[in-house]
Every structure is written in C-alpha cells, then in structure tokens.
C-alpha cells in the first residue's frame, strides 16, 4: 500500500527519495509524487502523477539540486487514481505540502466544522490535514498548528510535512500507520518501511503512536502529541543492500523461493543455543496456562496458521481455532475460558489483524505475534513477539515467510510437547529436501503443458488440503487463473461438476494413511477428462508420479510440499509475461481494512 520517504541532509534528496520509493514499490501503488526545494525560486516544487516511480524519476530529471524533500507512492482509497489525488498535497495558499499513509475517518466532519469556504484541489481525505494545518497556523506557531491538527484526526496516519516558510525542516507524525526515522552520517531519512533506509542510514528509530518529529539537517527533535520532549532511542540497522536486491534472479519471487532452505537453517541457528531452545519461557508458560489457542491471520499467513493448528494439537494436545482476521475482528466467536492468541503476519502491519489485536488487548488476553518485521506494529503491540528471520520478503506473493511461519509454529509446539524427536534435525531435513528439489528444473516444463486452462484445482487431504489452499491462493494471485484448493474427498459432493475435458487438477499426496483415498479421488476426476499432476512425498510415491519430494517428518510435510506449487505459480505467471513481483490490484502490506 502507500509508501512514504522523506529526506534532509547533505545528499541530493531526490536520489534518496526515489531510491526509497523504488524499494517500496513492492507494496503496491498506482501513483507517485515528490516535493523538492527549488533554491532559485525559494519554494518547494511538487511533481506527481499516476503511474510508476520510473515515470516520476523522468519528470524530476532536470529539477534543481535540493537537500530536502518528501515523496510518496499512493494506493488509492479516497478518490480516483489521477494526478490531482496523487500526493504530495498542498494547503490552499500552498504554504504546506504533505504526504500521508493511512485513512482519516472523520475528514468529512473536519471539513464541515473547520474548513467551510476552503477550496479543495483533490478528492482525498489527506488534503483536509494540509488545510487544517494552514488554518491553525494563522493563530498558532507551526509546531502547535500541526499538533492541534493531529489531535483532531480520527483514523490512521504517517505524515511528512514541509513548510514553505521553514524550508530546512521536515515534520513527521505517526499514528497506527508505520513510520521510521533513519539516521546516517549524511542526513536523516524518514520512511514507512525499513527497506527505504538501507544504505542511507546506519541506525533507525521506529516511531511510537502519537509521536511528532522535527528533523533538520543535523538535528532531530522528538515529541509526544502534547508537545512533551521525548528521548530517541535508535537501533543499528543490520541489513545491507544485498538483502533488498534481486541479484542474479529475474524476480524477487524466485529469489525468495530459493532462499527457503537458508531461512530454515537461520531459524534453527537463531532459536537454539546448542540444544537449548531460546523461545521465551513465559510464552510457553502462558500457552500451557491456556485452554485453547486462537490463531488469527490473513491470506498466506492464515494458511500457515492451519498447519500450526495441526502442530499444536498433535504435539502439545492443545485445541486450536484458526480464524480469518477480518472476520474475527468484527464477529468474535464465543471464546474458551482461558484463550491464548497467536497473530501470524509476514509484514506485522496487516490492518485486519491490528483491529483484532486492539479487541484482544481490551479484553486483557495474552497475545504472541509471529512476524518477519521486528519493528512492525503487531510485533511492538503484542505481549510477545517471535521473529521469522526470513529476511525481507519483497515479492507480493508470500513464499519464504509461509515456510518460516510454519517453522516457528513448529518450534513453539515442539517446546510444549514430550519431545520424542529432535525438531532441529527434522527442520534441517526439510531444508535439505527443499534444496534437492529446487535443483530440479522440470517444473517449468510441467507447468507450461498443464496450465493452459482458465481454471485449476489443487486437491489433497489433511495437511495436503491446507497446502492446496495456499497453492491455490498463490496461483490465482500472480497468474490470474481461477484456482481452488479443495479437500479431495469433498469434490464429489458438488464441485466435480466443474471438471471437464482438460481441466488441470494438481493432487498433493504426502500422508501414507490417506494417500490411497486421494488417489481414488484423483481417478474420479481423471475419468471425467481432467489433466493431472501428482506432487508426492517419496515415501508414498508410485510409478508415473510427476513430482517427488524427499520425505520429511509427517508434521512438517507442508514446508516441503508447498515448494513445487510455488514454482508452478511462478512459471504460470512467467509464461503469461505478467508482473510477477507486483501482481495487479495487490499490495504487499495490507494496511487498510
């Protein structure tokens, strides 16, 4: 969704900002804009339009040198995708210029109450903020004009503001939408995502809600919403440009698929000191003291949650419910007496989950967030947090985060179990199995011949069914083929009516106890003209099975079984020449409900 980057320092601001915005492109957007200081005319210029950052870069090619600026990528929520609605936005006299991530829920009331007679240039909720600051600046100094405005806003915001009368300062504020300040030898960068700071800042400060920042070239002042000074507490950035670049790979998605074995190994290394687990004991105590775990998540993370349910129930005998966050947030089911909540999220910013978190905390229940982003809102606001250590996941289609989420859920469940096997060894075997499979280049050929239809089915039973759900989401989101993941035994109860000559059906088979049932269901669709491929684990493989994965522990099969399906999705999109890393209509981090 929207991205924000601002800079003040010794470098060319447009280089830092455009570079940052490019790094945030993966989040999804439809317009881009930037404001830079024009020394000759002593004003901030604004360049913006719908379209990509590359187009914006061309429009500022000849802009004068500026050491200060703010930039934005917009994912439309209020108002059409057009130049007027793109950020930055001006106040009516053009004194204030700002970019905004988030949604101002009460913008209509604010307009009516404070801004009657003001002519608006856009249809956005954001513009109201610029207009209010200008209105209040007639009677208040700039800092108080901004703070007075902030106190009136309902909703969420990450804001960067420029003032034509103070052209050597960047103002920033945050509430619910993420915003981080980066500090380096060459200046201060403020951005909505750590990725935009890498290479420019040595340390970073994730802002808390309701903080207000005034940044100059060599100084940073931090306040709370009541204008009380706060002491910034910076953390060293330990990522390099290599972590956020594609390197030899054609797309981030394929890079991230190939990183999965090393992600699993990193998790094993980071969560163990010799044989001793490093998972916070209090998390385990709290789970033991609960009578039911509720796993809440969205999309791929919800699919990882389903695997987690099986792990906790089988290993630790704790009942688990898995819920879609957007449903749970407004339709909370009847809870058990002593619930424990686990939020699973790659980004740690998913707004549907944040809505759940607020409700859960209001009810005083304990929450653990499992996420890839240590600085994220969900990591910081939960009682406990476990990091995925997957490294930045940039492709919109989530791959390595899914595998990492299952690994972390497995580690927690294992610590609560009788420990009849070594989880470290079993995870290491999964890494090996994936690695071996990834060296086989047959998947592209198989995909090309299979996925010629406009629809497709993944079928399986038990854990394979859950993997099928994830496989279907992946295929539809990047190849736009209508795909369903289906419980193999349920097909004959209605959906088999959709099978016709040539319909692709991909069967997932990993469990020896039920493999023959899935094979029977597959025969039923083959008899009706389906074209199938079988993805099977080596211990249940039969002659003619197309894709065989080396056997892994029965509770961890999804981590390995999912990999061929990721490749199927990747190659299906590649064959169609689609924008694999940035599929249409989607955003990496879904920060609106």
Q: How far is the CB of 330 from ligand M6R (least distance, A)?
A: 17
Q: With binding defined as CB under 6 A, does residue 346 bind ligand M6R? A: yes
Any residues with CB less than 8 A from the CB of 87 and at least 6 apart, and which?
A: 2, 31, 33, 48, 72, 74, 98, 99, 100, 124, 126
Rounded CA gap, 563 and 577, in Å? 21
Q: Does 397 bind ligand M6R (CB under 6 A)?
A: yes
Q: Which is nearer to ligand M6R, 57 or 267 (CB)?
A: 267
Q: Is 102 in the site for ligand M6R (CB under 6 A)?
A: no
Quick one: which segment of 208-216, 254-262, 391-399, 518-526 binds ligand M6R (CB under 6 A)? 391-399
- Give the residue among 76, 89, 74 at the shortest CA–CA distance from 35: 89
Question: Least Å distance between CB 304 and ligand M6R?
Answer: 9
Active site residue 582: no
Binding residues for ligand M6R, total number by CB under 6 A:
17
Q: Is 398 in the site for ligand M6R (CB under 6 A)?
A: yes
Tokens in use for 234?
């910076």
Among 347, 375, 377, 557, indicate the residue that binds ligand M6R (CB under 6 A). 347
> Of 377 and 521, which has the nearer Cβ to ligand M6R?
377
Q: What string of H, E and C letters represents the secondary structure of 419-477?
A: CCCCHHHHHHHHHHHHHHHHCCCCHHHHHHHHCCCCEEEEEECCHHHHHHHHHHHHHHH
Cα 274 to Cα 271, 388, 424: the distances in Å are 10, 19, 10
Nearer Cβ to ligand M6R (135/346): 346
Q: In the range 278-337, which residues lie near ligand M6R by CB under 6 A?
A: 298-301
* Among 35, 350, 518, 566, contact with ligand M6R (rule: CB under 6 A): 350
* 557 lies in the site for ligand M6R, by CB under 6 A: no
Site for ligand M6R in 166-205 (CB under 6 A): none
Catalytic, out of 2, 14, 176, 356: 2
Site string for ligand M6R, 432-471 (x = CB under 6 A): ----------------------------------------
Question: Which residue has its beta carbon closest to ligand M6R?
Answer: 299
**Is 588 among the catalytic positions?**
yes
Q: Please report how the helices 299-316 and 400-415 are oriented relative to each other, as an axis angle in degrees rounded to 10.
A: 20
Cα separation, 380 vs 371, in Å, equals 11
DSSP code per residue over 237-270: ----GGGGS-TT-SSHHHHHHHTHHHHHHHHHHH
Phi, psi for residue 217 in degrees, rounded to 5: -55, -40
**DSSP state, 155?**
B
Stretch that binds ligand M6R, among 334-342, 344-352, 419-427, 573-581 (CB under 6 A): 344-352
**CA dist 134 → 90, 142, 190, 198 (Å):** 10, 9, 23, 34
Among residues 19, 193, 477, 581, the one that binds ligand M6R under rule CB under 6 A? 477
176, 366, 476, 588: the catalytic one is 588
Q: Does 590 bind ligand M6R (CB under 6 A)?
A: yes
Q: Which stretch binds ligand M6R (CB under 6 A): 111-119, 340-348, 516-524, 552-560?
A: 340-348
Looking up tokens 């099986």 gives 310
Three-state SS sequence of 69-128:
EEEEEECCCCCCCCCCCCCCEECCCCCEEEEEECCECCHHHHHHHHCCCCCCCCCCCCHH
Comparing CB distances to ligand M6R, the nearer of 130 and 298 is 298
Q: Which residues are near ligand M6R by CB under 6 A?
A: 298-301, 345-347, 350, 353, 396-398, 473-474, 477, 589-590
Which sequence positions are flagged as catalytic? 2, 588
């Amino acid at each position: 969704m929207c991205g924000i980057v601002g800079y003040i320092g010794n470098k060319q601001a447009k280089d830092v900002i455009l570079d940052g915005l490019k790094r945030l492109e993966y989040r999804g957007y439809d317009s881009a804009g930037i404001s830079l200081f024009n020394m000759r005319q002593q004003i901030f210029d604004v360049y913006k339009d719908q379209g990509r950052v590359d187009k914006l870069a061309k429009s500022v090619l000849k802009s004068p040198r500026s050491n200060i600026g703010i930039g934005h990528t917009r994912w439309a929520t209020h108002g059409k995708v057009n130049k007027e609605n793109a950020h930055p936005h001006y106040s009516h006299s053009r004194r204030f210029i700002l970019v905004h991530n988030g949604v101002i829920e009460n913008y209509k009331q604010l307009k009516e109450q404070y801004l009657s007679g003001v002519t608006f240039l856009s249809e956005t909720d954001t513009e109201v903020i610029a207009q209010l600051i200008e209105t209040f600046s007639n009677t208040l100094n700039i800092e108080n004009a901004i703070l007075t405005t902030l106190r009136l806003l309902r909703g969420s915001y990450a804001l960067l503001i420029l003032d034509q009368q103070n052209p050597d300062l960047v103002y920033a504020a945050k509430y619910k939408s993420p915003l981080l300040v980066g500090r380096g030898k060459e200046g201060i960068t403020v951005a909505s995502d750590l990725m935009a700071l890498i290479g420019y800042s040595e340390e970073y400060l994730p802002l808390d809600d309701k903080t207000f920042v005034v940044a100059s070239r060599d100084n940073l002042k931090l306040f709370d919403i009541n204008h009380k000074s706060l002491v910034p507490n910076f953390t060293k950035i330990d990522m390099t440009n290599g972590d956020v670049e594609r390197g030899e790979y054609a797309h981030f998605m394929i890079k991230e698929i190939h990183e999965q074995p090393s992600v699993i190994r990193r998790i094993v290394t980071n969560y163990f000191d010799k044989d001793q687990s490093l998972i916070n004991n209090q998390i385990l105590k709290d789970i033991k003291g609960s009578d039911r775990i509720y796993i809440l998540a969205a999309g791929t993370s919800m699919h990882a949650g389903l695997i987690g349910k099986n792990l906790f129930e089988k290993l630790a005998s704790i009942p688990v419910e898995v819920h879609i966050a957007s449903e749970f947030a407004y339709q909370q089911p009847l809870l058990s007496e002593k619930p424990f909540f686990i939020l699973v999220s790659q980004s740690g910013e998913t707004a549907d989950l944040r809505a759940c978190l607020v409700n859960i905390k209001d009810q005083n229940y304990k929450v653990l967030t499992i996420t890839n982003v240590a600085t994220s809102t969900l990591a910081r606001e939960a009682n406990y947090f476990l990091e995925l250590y997957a490294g930045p996941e940039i492709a919109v289609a989530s791959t390595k985060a899914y595998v990492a989420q299952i690994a972390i859920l497995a580690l927690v469940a294992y610590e609560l179990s009788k420990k009849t096997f070594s989880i470290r060894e079993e995870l290491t075997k999964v890494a090996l199995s994936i690695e071996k499979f990834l060296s086989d280049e047959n998947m592209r050929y198989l995909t090309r011949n299979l996925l010629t239809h406009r629809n497709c089915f993944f079928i399986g039973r038990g854990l394979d069914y859950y993997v099928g759900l994830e496989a279907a989401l992946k295929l539809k989101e990047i190849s736009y083929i209508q795909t369903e993941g289906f419980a193999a035994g349920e097909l004959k109860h209605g959906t088999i009516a959709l099978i016709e000559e040539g319909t692709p059906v991909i069967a997932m088979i990993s469990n020896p106890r039920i493999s023959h049932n899935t094979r029977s269901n597959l025969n039923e669709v083959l008899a009706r003209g389906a074209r199938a491929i079988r993805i099977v684990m080596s211990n249940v493989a039969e002659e003619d099975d197309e894709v065989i994965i080396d056997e892994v522990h029965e509770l961890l099969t999804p981590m390995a079984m999912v990999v061929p399906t990721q490749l199927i999705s990747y190659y299906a999109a590649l064959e169609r020449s689609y924008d694999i890393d940035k599929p249409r209509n989607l955003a990496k981090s879904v920060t609106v409900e």
